[in-house]
């Protein structure tokens, strides 16, 4: 475990016996123009880990030169490893030029649950995302095979942002990915039945996706927690144990 620059990792602890819980801390509180935050996780053979953050990530307005800012996360899971990547949401402020990248590599028998939650602007304070851009990339590989690949590139007010084939004007969206045993049709049907409006559940190539699109981060967060609570016993064989930091 190592870190440099402003990123910090809280000392590992074990509130539920296993897995190991790790909190990733970024004391500056957000990314400004020119910032590039890189997180690399190597989950060793047979390891069990849960990674989260104590608060929302923030991507602030770009500077007068329009220099971008971004975050790259790379997760590599070795044989029989389990990893949960459950950060709190990322707020992309008006005027930001944000680039977010999540790259996941799984061994053949590794198990994973993770999500990325994004809020464009600060709608609760009526600070709308009417200027700026976001590029987001999500990839999941297993055994050298690319199973999920998505790239979002939008500019405030463009067709992808406003159009019905894109975000339809929504300012909050999230994706949960799960890869592991037990992702059955019955589980998918149960998730579809219990999750509220704004959510969708699909499965392809052994990767289960839970999606949210709307305008309320509380709704997104609560629904993702509920999905994780149902998925964890099936995919990882243990009941959900909510990180205390989510409630402080």
Report which DSSP code applies to 93: -
Q: Where are the domains of the chain?
A: 8-239
CB atoms within 10 A of CB 197: 8
Report which DSSP code applies to 193: H
Q: Which parts of the chain register pLDDT below 50? A: none
203/201 Cα distance (integer angstroms): 7
Report pLDDT for 9: 84
Entry pTM: 0.95
Report pLDDT for 1: 55
Report pLDDT for 4: 64
101/10 Cα distance (integer angstroms): 23
Report pLDDT for 124: 84
For residue range 118-170, what is the model confidence (pLDDT) as tens digits?
999 998 888 999 999 999 999 999 999 999 999 999 999 999 999 999 999 99
Q: DSSP 3-state assignment of 229?
A: helix
Type and span of the H or E element at 157: none
Report pLDDT for 5: 66
49/52 Cα distance (integer angstroms): 10
Q: Where are the alpha helices (DSSP H) in the chain?
A: 159-162, 185-194, 217-235
How many CA within 13 A on the CB side of residue 165? 3
| Beta strands in the chain, from DSSP E residues, in sequence order | 8-9, 20-25, 36-43, 48-52, 57-59, 69-77, 82-85, 90-92, 97-106, 111-120, 133-142, 145-155, 172-179, 199-204, 207-214
């Amino acid at each position: 475990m190592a870190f440099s620059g402003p990123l910090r990792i809280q000392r590992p602890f074990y509130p539920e016996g296993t897995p190991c819980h790790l909190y990733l801390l970024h004391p500056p509180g957000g990314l400004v123009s020119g910032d590039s935050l890189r997180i690399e996780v190597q989950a060793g053979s047979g390891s069990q880990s849960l990674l989260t953050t104590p608060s929302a990530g923030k991507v602030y307005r770009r500077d007068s030169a329009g220099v971008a800012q971004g975050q790259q996360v790379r997760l590599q899971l070795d044989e029989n490893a389990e990893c949960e990547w459950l950060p709190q949401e990322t707020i992309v402020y008006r005027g930001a030029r944000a680039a977010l990248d999540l790259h996941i590599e799984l061994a053949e028998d590794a198990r994973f649950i993770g999500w990325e939650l994004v809020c464009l602007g600060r709608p609760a304070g009526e600070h709308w995302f009417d200027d700026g851009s976001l590029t987001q990339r999500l990839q999941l590989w297993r055994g050298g095979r690319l199973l999920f690949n998505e790239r979002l590139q939008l500019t405030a007010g463009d067709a992808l942002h406003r159009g019905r084939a894109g975000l339809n004007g929504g300012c909050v969206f999230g994706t949960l990915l799960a890869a592991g045993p037990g992702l059955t049709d019955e589980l998918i049907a149960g998730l579809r039945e219990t999750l509220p409006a704004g959510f969708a559940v699909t499965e392809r190539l052994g990767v289960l996706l839970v999606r949210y699109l709307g305008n309320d981060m509380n709704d997104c967060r609560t629904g993702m927690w509920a999905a994780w609570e149902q998925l964890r016993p099936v995919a990882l064989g243990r009941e959900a144990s909510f990180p205390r930091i989510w409630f402080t």
